[in-house]
Amino acid sequence: MSEAVPTAVYDCMLYLQAAMSVRGAAARCLEAAEAGEVRLVVSEMVLAEVAEVLTREEIQRRRAHLTPAFVAAFIQRIRRTATVLDPVPARFCYARDPDDEPYLNLAIAAGAGYLVSRDRDLLDLQDPSSESGRALRQFLPRLTILDPAELLQRLPNLSGPAL
């Protein structure tokens, strides 16, 4: 079954990168969701993690524009763009990196076609030889885990080169 608008879950790092720079593949992925090219799904846990990471002192020192007002507006931007699923049942355990479980379980709950990340622990689940990846496919056989540039290449209206 082909989906006209694919459903996607973005990991926390993608949001961090999009907030830190308006250029680049992460920002374009968020713009793709805003343009309706992707149905973005988040949870309250994801929103809380994004807000917490963006307000860390070491992050704010590197990017002066990440003021409390900017972070609040950025979280509202995500809320306006995404479908918020809550609560998200814990169905999949990932021993290699339990911190990634909320994103995997969100993808399962949303029936996502894509999980977008640059996290090697998540990307490795795409490998057919991965036992954990095979276990994940029991829940969500059509899930593709890919990086932001790869997502942009798959979207018909955004197939230009990633910045």
Tens place of pLDDT per residue across the chain (163 aa): 445 899 999 999 999 999 999 899 999 999 999 999 999 999 999 999 999 999 999 988 888 899 999 999 999 999 999 999 999 999 999 999 999 999 999 999 999 999 999 999 999 999 999 999 999 999 999 999 999 999 999 997 654 444 3
Q: What distance in Å separates the CA atoms of residue 99 and residue 49, rounded to the nearest whole number?
A: 11
> What SS3 class is residue 36?
coil
At residue 157, the pLDDT reads 66
pTM to 2 decimal places: 0.91
Domains in the chain: boundaries: 7-157
> CA-CA distances (angstroms) from residue 101 to 55, 73, 76, 116, 132?
23, 27, 24, 14, 12
Superfamily of domain 7-157: 5'-nuclease (3.40.50.1010)
At residue 61, the pLDDT reads 87
Burial of 31 (0-12, 13-18, 19+ CB in 10 A): middle
Q: What angle do CA 58, 61, 65 make, to 5 degrees?
A: 125
Give me the residue label for tokens 């990846």.
133
Q: What distance in Å separates the CA atoms of residue 150 and residue 157, rounded to the nearest whole number?
A: 14
> CA-CA distances (angstroms) from residue 66 to 1, 21, 57, 135?
41, 10, 10, 39
At residue 4, the pLDDT reads 85
